[in-house]
Amino acid sequence: MARKVAPVFPGREKRSQHAAAASWAAIGADTSMTACSVVLVGFDAILDKMVGPFYAETRWTPEDDYFKRLAEAADPSLLHSVLAKVHVVNMDRIFIAIEEPWYYGATKDQKSAWLKQQAEVCGAFKGGLARWGYQNIYEINNSQWRATLRRDGVEFVKGKESKWQVKEWAINAFGLPDLPDLVKSKSGAKIPRPESGYGAKAKAVQPNDIYDAAACCAWMNDEIEKLGLV
């Protein structure tokens, strides 16, 4: 019996490839000593519509070896996991905004060891992207993505409370789900709040880092529109 195979339509495949060439993606990334997070929105020309947000993260605990973290930060698999959800075939139509490794004024706090490791994780992440051919990389600070959120009506307050404002914006304006907040585990690591067991009722210390990545993504999306990059 002859093996059944799917029919091939060269004309249809050519049209699909041409449509995919018009697709583009805006990606926001947040890196730290405890996690790397990415969020993507974009235009899928095959579907002929905007898609996303899609998100993914890699999270570490204090038990994870530092060089293991650097190796995983440099691995583009995290980025590829969100890019797989949109038909983008041209790497020059992928735009990535990464938040700077530390906040303004951190050097005045004399946290030299923390600053060094934060910068190395962020550098490993960017180096991995450059190694695999991603060239449209923008390093931004929080004042830039905060300006984007202010245009959406966010009125920031001072201090750590502003992180919860970013979460509220990301859910209500950007379309992300209500992800589990981060709590401190017995080891002191920040982990997503478990549904049951230890930590289920612990006080949240901050929202998920994915929301900060979403803010960077929103800035990148606005920049694409403002500068006519696609």
At 87-126, the pLDDT tens digits run: 998 999 999 999 998 766 666 665 677 788 889 999 999 9
Q: Residues of the chain with pLDDT > 70: what percent?
A: 83
Q: Are 228 and 209 in contact (CB under 8 A)?
A: no
Entry pTM: 0.87
Peptide bond before 53: cis, by omega within 30 degrees of 0? yes
193: in domain = no
For residues 15-37, average pLDDT = 86
- At residue 185, the pLDDT reads 73
- At residue 137, the pLDDT reads 97
Is the per-residue pLDDT at 198 higher than 60?
no
Is the per-residue pLDDT at 6 higher than 50?
no
Domains contained in the chain, number: 1
13: in domain = no
- Phi/psi for 55 (5° steps) reads -145, 160
2: in domain = no
- At residue 158, the pLDDT reads 87
Q: Are 53 and 41 in contact (CB under 8 A)?
A: yes
Put residue 159 in one of left, alpha, beta given phi > 0 → left and psi -120 to 50 → alpha: left
As a whole number of Å, the end-to-end CA separation of the chain is 50
15: in domain = no
190: in domain = no
Report the relative pairing of strands 35-44 and 24-31 from DSSP bridges.
antiparallel
User: What CATH number does the domain containing 219 carry?
Assistant: 3.30.420.10
> Domain range spanning residue 67?
24-177+210-227
189: in domain = no
Tokens read off for 48: 């002929």
Range with lowest mean pLDDT among 22-36, 83-97, 172-186: 172-186
43: in domain = yes
83: in domain = yes
What DSSP designation does 197 have? S
